[in-house]
Amino acid sequence: MNILADKTILLGVTGGIAAYKAVDLCSKLVQAGAHVQVLMTYTAQKFVAPLTFGAISGRQPITDLWQLYEGGRIGHVALAQEADLFIIAPLSAHTMAGLAHGAADGPLTATALSTRAPLLLAPAMESHMWEHPATQANLQALIQRGAHLVGPEVGRLASGGIGIGRMAEPEVIVEHARIVLSRKGPLAGLRVTITAGGTREWMDPVRFMGNRSSGKMGVALARVARDLGAHVNLIYGAMTVDPPIGVHRVPAMRAEDMLRATLALLPETDVLISAAAIADFRPVVTYETKLKKETDQEIRLERTPDVLKAVAERRAEIGMPRLVVGFAAETSDLVANARSKMERKNLEMIVLNDVTAADAGFEVDTNRVTILTRDGGIESLPLMDKEAVAYHILQRVRGLLGAVGIGWSPGAGSLLP
């Protein structure tokens, strides 16, 4: 269910104060279900004891090249072959130089030289070391050979100064690991546009009509579609969560903005998933100055555009998107209402939310949905976290694309008719 599950990840740790953050990184990878083997340089062990990583990863860290030869296997070669990804965090200037020049003077560099797994580098060093032409030349050499870079960030450094050189935060490194692993995913080449969050319809510069949507379901869909290899556009309104990295972000606050952004992306959208809670009404007048309480105001409302209806009309003309998925937030006659919505809006699939349930729907991390398809299919899923729901929805999307004979060539960036 999660791209990190059962992946073999090598985590190289070099000497730097940020080594303590690598402990958290290791923990996050293990919690996501990855098998993590830590490799530490001599200097890294001055900052964090190997025991700490051993306890978290359940495997003894490799600290010595000769340790790898135990058991009759050529250790670093075997390790290198098993790896799906090699993360080096923190990466010191010294080890970066070694990697750039093909050094094999320790377990970390020897394994890096032997592996064909993608390399994800999270450098951490003082600003002057980072900015030095030697470091920059080494970095360029590694990037040209296909290494992926995360950070460094600007912030407080070990010296006490402020500057560039802080290691990226562990959760950001995990996101980058997911993106690197997604490259050859089952949806590679598919272009997916997702709308998320709630819209805001302004009454005056400080007041709006909004709704309870947190954007969590749409963001989960965007993240999982990205992890499965799709190219993702995320059109989003008000959300309590950040849009994920590695997706094309398109902010759109009002229903009108959602309509414009969605229609603009249609020609390059294979699959549209409309998870946004788009307002159905807006104030007829938006005042340019703040309304005073003394003025006895009556707010008159008018209908907003129905985005999916407009999509259905445009789709009839241009033949894109190939597949449209809607959401239905219902409080009564759930299945009947969702079915008629699916037909009215010409959708291939609709995801039904019972928004009266306390543990599912708005604001929470879990959801309990029923997936209805145009061919009469109905599947009720148990309560699960929103990423797991997203995974199910995308699996169904994949199945539907296959059922109607639409294939796409991985990496080609577009569906083949």
Question: Ramachandran region of residue 404, left (φ > 0), alpha (ψ -120 to 50) or beta?
Answer: alpha
Task: Report if residue 217 touches ligand CTP, rule: CB under 6 A.
Answer: no
Q: Site mask, ligand CTP, residues 231-260, x = CB under 6 A?
A: ------------------------x-----
Task: Report if residue 278 touches ligand CTP, rule: CB under 6 A.
Answer: yes
Among 46-54, 142-150, 276-284, 290-298, the segment contacting ligand CTP (CB under 6 A)? 276-284
Cβ atoms of 276 and 256 within 8 Å: the answer is: no
Residues in contact with 347: Cβ distance below 8 Å, sequence separation at least 6, in sequence order? 308, 324, 325, 326, 341, 374
Task: Report if residue 211 touches ligand CTP, rule: CB under 6 A.
Answer: no
Residue nearer to ligand CTP on the CB measure, 136 or 380: 380
Smallest distance, Å, CB 273 to ligand CTP? Answer: 8
Among 62-70, 151-159, 323-331, 375-383, the segment contacting ligand CTP (CB under 6 A)? 323-331
How big is the site for ligand CTP, counted in residues (CB under 6 A)? 14
Rule CB under 6 A: choose which of 329, 371, 393, 400 binds ligand CTP.
329
Run of H or E residues at 141:
helix 133-144
Smallest distance, Å, CB 333 to ligand CTP? Answer: 11
Among 45-53, 182-190, 202-210, 320-328, the segment contacting ligand CTP (CB under 6 A)? 320-328
Binding to ligand CTP (CB under 6 A): which residues in 337-396?
341
Residue nearer to ligand CTP on the CB measure, 130 or 327: 327
Q: How many CB atoms lie within 10 A of CB 328?
A: 23
Contacts within 8 Å (CB) and 24+ apart, 56-65: 56/23, 56/26, 56/27, 56/30, 57/11, 57/26, 57/30, 58/30, 59/35, 61/13, 61/37, 62/37, 62/38, 62/107, 63/39, 63/107, 64/107, 65/106, 65/107, 65/110
Contacts within 8 Å (CB) and 24+ apart, 331-338: 331/355, 331/356, 334/370, 335/370, 335/372, 335/378, 338/370, 338/372
Among 11-19, 81-89, 322-330, 370-378, the segment contacting ligand CTP (CB under 6 A)? 322-330
Residue nearer to ligand CTP on the CB measure, 269 or 274: 274
Task: Report if residue 276 touches ligand CTP, rule: CB under 6 A.
Answer: yes
Rule CB under 6 A: choose which of 40, 79, 124, 328 binds ligand CTP.
328
Contacts within 8 Å (CB) and 24+ apart, 383-388: 383/359, 385/220, 386/216, 386/217, 386/220, 387/1, 387/2, 387/220, 387/223, 387/224, 388/1
Rule CB under 6 A: choose which of 14, 57, 114, 304 binds ligand CTP.
304
Q: 234 is written with which tokens? A: 């995320």
Among 53-61, 174-182, 215-223, 299-307, the segment contacting ligand CTP (CB under 6 A)? 299-307
Residue 221, SS3 per DSSP: helix
Smallest distance, Å, CB 274 to ligand CTP? Answer: 4
Task: Report if residue 327 touches ligand CTP, rule: CB under 6 A.
Answer: yes
User: Catalytic residue numbers?
Assistant: 211
The whole-angstrom separation of Cα 82 and Cα 153 is 31
Run of H or E residues at 201:
strand 201-202
Rule CB under 6 A: choose which of 24, 169, 256, 280 binds ligand CTP.
280
- Which residues here bind ligand CTP, judged by CB under 6 A? 255, 274, 276, 278, 280, 304, 306-308, 326-329, 341
